[in-house]
């Protein structure tokens, strides 16, 4: 955190879950180029343009740092654009959205802008949940914000809460919640199998009939302790109906000055392109009717 002599917050930055602000011109230029290429490759361009405009209008409201259309922000836009192809609630319809592991909270903030009558329930570990609380309250100061375990009534059915923040260890405290939409982007890949099963048990027990679940994570990842987590090994059921199932193109590459970069592969061949980086392995996404 960067604070001036008058205790005014000048900037805040997290480690390990993306970046949305920078004063470096070359970094912004590289991100703009990256977003442009991914946009040109996408099918749902009209929706991407619409959501990008909303995302930029939100970014302008943040009073510290230089927030812009970074590659990480575009990934959140792309996720919601993918969901909106099949998720069509009525205007001003009240429903709850469960967001598991949302980094800075931009996916939740964008969702609230598109579905203003929805209640966003954000679940994460405490240190990361802090960023979601901060950004959401800055972007939606007039809305009702509560924290599970600290605010009375935060666990109930009532829809007067706009943003409900839940520390991961208190997930099961939200016994009466029912969700129409559930989203998880690049956080289950950081969990072991036991934690993933725990989240699936909760979302299946609390999802509305026909609820939509968007899951975007690494196809396969070895955790630091050696445990191998496979996307196809998540607790999917034969009764789940897949609306979208495949590899997410927006994760195929990005630009980076990282010394030990991954070289994205094209038809099995690594591309020796300067500053081109990519994930450690393929990224899957699946939009499912539970």
- pLDDT tens, 234-265? 999 999 999 999 999 999 988 887 777 787 76
Local confidence band at 24 (pLDDT 50, 70, 90 cut-offs): confident
Give the range among 21-25, 132-136, 179-183, 210-214 with minimum mean pLDDT: 21-25
For residue 47, being part of any structural domain is answered with yes
Dist CA 99 CA 165 (whole Å): 10
More confident residue, 182 or 17: 182
* Tokens encoding 46: 């009209």
For the segment 132-170, what is each residue's pLDDT rounded down to a tens digit? 999 999 999 999 999 998 865 545 445 589 999 999 999
More confident residue, 137 or 18: 137
For residue 239, being part of any structural domain is answered with no
Q: Is the model's pLDDT at 92 over the cut of 70?
A: yes
Local confidence band at 279 (pLDDT 50, 70, 90 cut-offs): confident
Q: Is the model's pLDDT at 266 over the cut of 90?
A: no
For residue 248, being part of any structural domain is answered with no
Q: Is the model's pLDDT at 80 over the cut of 60?
A: yes
For the segment 189-247, what is each residue's pLDDT rounded down to a tens digit? 999 999 999 999 999 999 999 999 999 999 999 999 999 999 999 999 999 999 999 99
Q: For the chain, how many structural domains are there in total? A: 1
Average pLDDT, the chain: 90
pLDDT at 271: 67
C-alpha torsion sign, points 151, 152, 155, 157: negative
For residue 158, being part of any structural domain is answered with no
For residue 161, being part of any structural domain is answered with no
Local confidence band at 4 (pLDDT 50, 70, 90 cut-offs): confident
Q: Is the model's pLDDT at 18 over the cut of 80?
A: no
For residue 25, being part of any structural domain is answered with yes
Dist CA 286 CA 189 (whole Å): 14
For residue 215, being part of any structural domain is answered with no
pLDDT at 231: 97
pLDDT at 241: 97
pLDDT at 158: 53
The residues, any chain, with a CB within 8 Å of residue 107's CB and separated by 6 or more, are: 76, 79, 80, 99, 183, 185
Q: Is 40 left (phi over 0), alpha (psi -120 to 50) or beta?
A: alpha
Whether the model clears a pTM of 0.75, i.e. scores above it, the answer is yes
For residue 207, being part of any structural domain is answered with no
The residues, any chain, with a CB within 8 Å of residue 51's CB and separated by 6 or more, are: 77, 80, 81, 84, 110, 114
- What's the rounded mean pLDDT across residues 47-68? 92
Q: Is the model's pLDDT at 84 over the cut of 70?
A: yes
**What is the span of the domain harbouring residue 68?**
18-85
């Amino acid at each position: 955190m960067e604070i001036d002599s008058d205790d005014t917050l000048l900037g805040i930055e997290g480690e390990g879950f993306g970046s949305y602000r920078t004063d470096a011109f070359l970094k912004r230029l590289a991100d703009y180029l990256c977003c442009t290429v991914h946009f040109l490759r996408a099918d749902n361009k009209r929706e991407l343009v619409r959501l990008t405009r909303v995302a930029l209008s939100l970014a302008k409201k943040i009073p510290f740092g230089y927030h812009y259309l970074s590659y990480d922000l575009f990934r959140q836009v792309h996720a919601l654009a993918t969901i909106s192809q099949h998720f069509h609630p009525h205007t001003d319809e009240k429903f709850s959205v469960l967001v598991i592991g949302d980094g800075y909270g931009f996916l939740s903030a964008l969702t609230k802008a598109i579905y203003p009558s929805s209640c966003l329930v954000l679940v994460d570990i405490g240190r990361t949940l802090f960023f979601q609380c901060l950004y959401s309250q800055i972007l939606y100061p007039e809305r009702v914000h509560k924290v599970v375990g600290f605010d009375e009534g935060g666990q109930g059915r009532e829809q007067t809460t706009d943003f409900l923040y839940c520390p991961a260890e208190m997930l099961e405290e939200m016994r009466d919640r029912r969700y129409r939409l559930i989203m998880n982007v690049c956080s289950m890949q950081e969990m072991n199998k036991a934690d993933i099963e725990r989240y699936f048990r909760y979302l299946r027990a609390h999802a509305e009939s026909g609820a939509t679940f968007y899951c975007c994570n690494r196809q396969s990842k070895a955790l630091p302790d050696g445990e191998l987590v496979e996307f196809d090994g998540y607790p999917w059921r034969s009764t789940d109906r897949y609306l979208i199932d495949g590899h997410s193109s927006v994760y195929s590459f990005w630009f980076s000055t990282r010394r030990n970069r991954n070289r994205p592969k094209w038809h099995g061949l690594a591309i020796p392109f300067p500053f081109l980086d990519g994930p450690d392995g393929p990224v899957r996404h699946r939009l499912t009717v539970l």
